[in-house]
Amino acid sequence: MSSDTRSIMQCLKEETQTLHTEAERQPFQQALLAGTLPRDTYADSLEQLYLVHRTLEAALRRHAPTVPAIAAVVREYQFQEIALRSDLACFGRAVEPVEALPPVRAFLDEIEATSASNPVALLGYHYVLEGSKNGLKFLADRVRKAYQLDGAGTAYLDPYGSEMRSRWAQFRQDMDAVGFAPDESRRIIRAACSAFEHLTAMYRTLGAGVAVAS
Ligand code: HEM
């Protein structure tokens, strides 16, 4: 019998804390914060994130009509495919064809496998991408300055503007209100950890050779 009385959102936060620290410490993120990440490397990351969001969001849309937990949590404004298309256009990148880097290819394959076998666990991936908006928001100004963007180009980093806190609160409330079975919770947490691992591997690949001030 499980004696874990924590809510799903508490579990997700606690079980992924170490992975978050590792993601945040990547030279890619540090260079982005310092305004020294090469413009092309940043545009490359948008291409890879586009592949991830496109795949995950299509899977969530497919399952929303038949998986009540997905219908209860996922909202149209959370989807980032269009924001990424718009940012990519600002960086002069065409959306197709984009080749997935190996860690992203592995992540896309895993999303498809989860979608086929255990769709409720897609919410673990969605949690990581939705939660990442909290930190990425602080990067938007740095990116605008570093790449001399005149207003457009950071839709992905700060999609909610002043609504960030209320939308994050809504997401937390919706997740906690679902009442996942223990097995579902375990699968969602495992998917969240896996999303962090794949994305950190992606940032590690993209940031290889990026200099970081000590
Ligand atoms: C320099 C980069 C980053 C910084 C400075 C940063 C910072 C933060 C901060 C301050 C929060 C807490 C917001 C709050 O509780 O009010 C947060 C939450 C979160 N971030 Fe990041 N972050 C960064 C990168 C990332 C990346 C790359 C990912 C995903 C791969 C990520 C995923 C998350 C998630 C899932 C949460 C929600 C945690 C929770 O359950 O409360 N972050 N981040």
pLDDT in tens, 67-83: 999 999 999 999 999 99
Domain that holds residue 188: 38-206
Whether residue 14 has pLDDT greater than 60: yes
CA 206 to chain centre: 16
**With the CA atoms of 159, 162, 166 and 170 taken in that order, what torsion angle do they form, in degrees rounded to the nearest 10?**
-10
Report residue 3's pLDDT band, with 50, 70 and 90 as the boundaries. Answer: low
Query: Would you place residue 95 in the very low, low, confident or very high pLDDT band (cuts 50, 70, 90)?
Result: confident
Q: Which of 104, 132, 131, 128 is nearest to 48 (CA)?
A: 104
Residue 15 in domain? no
Domain assignment present for residue 137? The answer is yes
The CATH number of the domain where 165 resides is what? Answer: 1.20.910.10
- 29 CA: nearest ligand 1 atom: 1
In this predicted structure, the answer to whether residue 2 has a pLDDT above a threshold of 60 is no
Name the nearest CA neighbour of 199 among 27, 23, 77: 23
Look at residue 175 and tell me if it is in a domain: yes
Q: What's the chain's average pLDDT? A: 95
Residue 123: per-residue pLDDT: 98
* Alpha-carbon gap, residue 137 to 158, rounded angstroms: 5
Residue 53 within any structural domain of the chain: yes
SS (H, E, C) 78-91: HCCHHHHHHHHHHC
Which residue has tokens 């990116």?
Answer: 143
CA angle 18, 6, 71 (to 5 degrees): 90
Asked if residues 88 and 46 have their Cβ atoms less than 8 Å apart, the reply is: yes
Residue-level pLDDT at 214: 61
Residue bearing the bigger pLDDT, 2 or 201: 201
pTM for the whole structure: 0.96
Domain presence at residue 24? no
With bands split at pLDDT 50, 70 and 90, how would you rate the model's confidence at 190? very high
Cβ within 8 Å of residue 203, ≥6 positions away: 23, 26, 28, 29, 45
Assess if residue 149 is contained within a domain: yes
Q: Which of 206, 183, 199, 208 is nearest to 104 (CA)?
A: 199
For residue range 15-70, what is the model confidence (pLDDT) as tens digits?
A: 999 999 999 999 999 999 999 999 999 999 999 999 999 999 999 999 999 999 99
Nearest CA to ligand 1 atom 15: 134
Q: What is the mean pLDDT of residues 160-180?
A: 97
**Is 33's C-beta closer than 6 angstroms to any atom of ligand 1?**
yes
- Any domain includes 21: no
Domain tally for the chain? 1
How many residues can be counted in the chain? 214
pLDDT (0 to 100) of residue 81? 96
The rounded percent of the chain whose pLDDT value lies above 70 is 98
* Residue 183: burial class (beta carbons within 10 Å; 0-12, 13-18, 19+): exposed
164-175 average pLDDT score? 98
Residue 128 beta carbon below 6 angstroms from any ligand 1 atom: yes
Question: Is residue 178 situated within a structural domain?
Answer: yes
Is residue 20 within 6 Å of ligand 1 at its C-beta? yes
Cα dihedral sign, 17-22-23-24: positive
